Amino acid sequence: EYVNAQNNLAFCYQNGIGIEKNEVKAFELYNIAAKKEFVEA
């Protein structure tokens, strides 16, 4: 559920877009999306 949004938020965290850069949080969100079989994650 909401995997596209999770992936987009992870991208924002990874690149510091509109939010403080946080690669750990980005990894966590990408991992959640990947576990839900979201290909881009």
The domains of the chain are located at 3-35
| Tokens standing for residue 7 | 């992936």
pLDDT in tens, 1-41: 689 999 999 999 999 999 999 999 999 999 999 999 888 77
Q: What Cα–Cα distance (Å) separates residue 20 from each residue in 1, 6, 26?
A: 25, 16, 11
Q: Please give the pLDDT value at position 40.
A: 79
CB 4 within 8 A of CB 39: no
Q: Please give the pLDDT value at position 11.
A: 97
Q: Please give the pLDDT value at position 30.
A: 95
CB 10 within 8 A of CB 33: yes
3-15 and 23-35 are packed helices; what angle lies between their axes, rounded to 10 degrees?
160
